[in-house]
Structure 1
Amino acid sequence: MTDPQIAPLAGYTVGVTAARRADELGALMERKGATVLHGPAIRIIPLADDSELLAATTSLVEDERPVDVAVATTGIGFRGWIEAADGWGLGERLIDRLRQATVLARGPKAKGAVRAAGLVEEWSPESEASAELLDHLLAEGVEGKRIAVQIHGEPLREFIDALRRAGAEVIEMPVYRWTGPADPGPLERLIEAVLVGQVDALTFTSAPAAASVLETADRMGRLDALVEQLSDRVLVVGVGGITAGPLVRQGIPVLCPERARIGALVRELAVALPARAARFTVCSSEVELRGQAAVVDGGLRPIPPAPMALLRALAAEPGRVLSRPALVGVLRRHSGREFGVDEHAVETAVGRLRAALGSPSLVQTVVKRGYRLAVPVA
């Protein structure tokens, strides 16, 4: 049985693709024992420098026609919009225009930002979901109405198209837009770490980050390999359904918490990742195979990458003998090298694996055949 003193994410490496609040997310996971690799997938364009938002805000306040409905989708986005408008000298005019509209807020944080601006929301969905917000608008009737929608990252195409089909004029407010990272190196290294089995879970807090990871992998010529890893071995966790969208469209399963909060994301991860661990008995020792470590008789034992690749292969069918040539293939796939990996490298990695496990007898040499885990024979 695993020692309860061992943190739930100890022995696992988790990738963080976030730009905003990445340090907070990483710290939450590290407190649960994870090793965190950070590869920011996006770069946030400062609102004060966003010419597109300035043009949209100017058009909104200078148009003589009133705004019938204003939709606030995120707290940080709505608050930032008001602050940016103040910096452009448009703050009071924007508030006056919004005060004349029916204001809807997607969730508690958006509601708080609306009230902080001196406005009062008329309605907010309990589910915090854009779909419920859309249903409410359509039920109220939108034909002929002008609706300003604060966009949060990925364009809300289905939401906006549905309003337009119902006869509304929709004004899109592109708050806190994203572009690719200024330095793609950390993201590329994170993707490579995923591909060689050194990352056990990958987290996403925005749809643009998810799209950027896929686009970067495609540019690297590794998209198919990444999708394969994320669809099988690596646990993918998104903060919510909108965030998961680009990944789901690639056929990648994404785990999302019930509430779209980073704290809830980490709690979900801390339950789901250990639940995937393989557990078996080897030489009377209870072994739990974590991402980058093994728990042997309740003690956590970190294992280097190459020996861990061999352990995963041996543990796929505990007790089955794997030949040296087969294990050469495992190390070649792990290293990404076709040459320079031979049977001597396998022997070296097996020796390091035995040392890391703390007991040479756990990995058995089968003369002239190869290696196996020393599971009891029925």
Structure 2
Amino acid sequence: MNCSSSQLSDTLAGKRVLLPIDRKSEEMAESLERHGAAVTIAAPMRITAVTDDPTLHNQCRQLASEAIDYTVVTTGAGFRALMTLADQQEHRTEWGTQLRTQLDRSAIIARGPKPKGAVLQAGLTPAWTAESETSAEMLSHLLSQDLRGTHVVVQHHGAGDESFEHALRQAGARVTGLTTYLWDDPEDPQRVRDSILHVSKEYFDIIAFTSAPAASRWLDIARELHCLDDIRALAAPNASKLLIAAVGPVTAQPLLDAGFTPLVPERFRMGALIKLILQHAGLH
């Protein structure tokens, strides 16, 4: 079903939407509110920048003097933070310019369009992009190469990925992992717990997730509150009391593992997720 913006303008009138989202939560909330929704933001985790960490600075300084064969970019936000750090006046002449040169000489592997966009924005050229936007596809591509004696730099997402690095080392690569941000505890944990309890009591009509770590943590809290079974029952296809949506298959996986069947847009973008929610609400 194709719906125009005018047809969808009041589609969410009277609907209560929960966003367990940190990054760009206000932007998504405003879009949903324009269509009549009452939105609550309650992120179970928040992104904390670590670009002031001396360890990261030392890693960058070291990398500026080393040859890099492959650079793995897992998130657009993380890579932009790294480039912003390199471009700061106090770092540019010391190691920033040379680090850019070393990254440019490497084969840059991007996990989907967003990381690819960040690489292009930095004036660099990706060598390969994972169409599925998964680390598994990136790892498969890298392991298809002869990695013996190579140096692979991995810009991690906030949760890190030790198994990814381990697989590369097992294939003979030397690996340097860079973390520019971390997932941290929420600023208001009680707000998160209350929102999850409200979900179990049928207060919310829609929940939208945009990151796998946040979805996993949200499910963990629901288990701790002993209400995950109630929420699962409300979201069951035959119940139709609660719509759960995820921005892409990576975000959806923890929900699928927990017995949910989230809606996932064909294009793994926030705009596509909003449109899918509007179209589904317009049919029910």
Taking structure 2 as the reference length, the TM-score comes to 0.82
* 8 Å contact kept, 1:95–1:117: no
1:255 positional shift? 1.8
**Distance (Å, rounded) in 1 between the aligned partners of 2:275 and 2:229:** 30
Q: Could you tell which deviates more after superposition, 205-214 or 63-72?
A: 63-72
Taking structure 1 as the reference length, the TM-score comes to 0.64
Q: Which amino acid aligns with 1:174?
A: T
**Distance (Å, rounded) in 2 between the aligned partners of 1:270 and 1:157:** 38
**Distance (Å, rounded) in 2 between the aligned partners of 1:153 and 1:236:** 24
* 8 Å contact kept, 1:105–1:111: yes
1:74 positional shift? 2.2
Q: Residue 155 of structure 2 aligns to a residue in which SS? A: strand
Q: Residue 123 of structure 1 aligns to a residue in which SS? A: strand
Q: Could you tell which deviates more after superposition, 196-205 or 215-224?
A: 215-224
* 8 Å contact kept, 2:49–2:180: no
Which residue number in structure 2 is paired with residue 291 of structure 1? Answer: none
Equivalent residue pairs, number: 270
* 8 Å contact kept, 2:15–2:37: yes
Q: Which amino acid aligns with 2:84?
A: E
Unaligned runs of 5+ in 2: 1-6
Q: Is 1:234 aligned to residue 242 of structure 2? A: yes
Matches within 5 A, 1:224-263: 224-231=229-236, 233-263=241-271
1:106 positional shift? 2.5
Which residue number in structure 1 is paired with residue 30 of structure 2? Answer: 27
1:42 positional shift? 1.6
Question: RMSD across aligned C-alpha pairs, in angstroms?
Answer: 2.6
Q: Which amino acid aligns with 2:23?
A: R
**Distance (Å, rounded) in 2 between the aligned partners of 1:190 and 1:25:** 18
Matches within 5 A, 1:185-224: 185-224=190-229
Distance 1:167-1:225 versus aligned 2 partners, 3 A rule: farther
Q: Which has the higher contact order (CA 8 A, sep 6+)?
A: 2
The C-alpha deviation readout for 1:182-223, integer Å capped at 9, x for no partner, is 111321221122011011111111112112212322343434
Q: Residue 245 of structure 2 aligns to a residue in which SS? A: strand
The C-alpha deviation readout for 1:225-245, integer Å capped at 9, x for no partner, is 344444564221111122223
Distance 1:62-1:17 versus aligned 2 partners, 3 A rule: same
Distance 1:213-1:86 versus aligned 2 partners, 3 A rule: same
Distance 1:226-1:179 versus aligned 2 partners, 3 A rule: farther
* 8 Å contact kept, 1:152–1:174: yes
Distance 1:143-1:229 versus aligned 2 partners, 3 A rule: farther
Which residue number in structure 1 is paired with residue 12 of structure 2? Answer: 9
Q: Is 1:168 aligned to residue 169 of structure 2? A: no
Matches within 5 A, 1:19-58: 19-49=22-52, 51=53, 54-58=54-58
**Distance (Å, rounded) in 1 between the aligned partners of 2:249 and 2:169:** 23
Identity of aligned residues (%): 36
* 8 Å contact kept, 1:149–1:173: yes
**Distance (Å, rounded) in 2 between the aligned partners of 1:254 and 1:164:** 35
Distance 1:35-1:123 versus aligned 2 partners, 3 A rule: same
Q: Could you tell which deviates more after superposition, 198-207 or 88-97?
A: 88-97
1:250 positional shift? 1.7
Matches within 5 A, 1:57-76: 57-62=57-62, 65-76=66-77
* 8 Å contact kept, 1:14–1:202: yes
Which residue number in structure 1 is paired with residue 4 of structure 2? Answer: none
Unaligned runs of 5+ in 1: 278-378
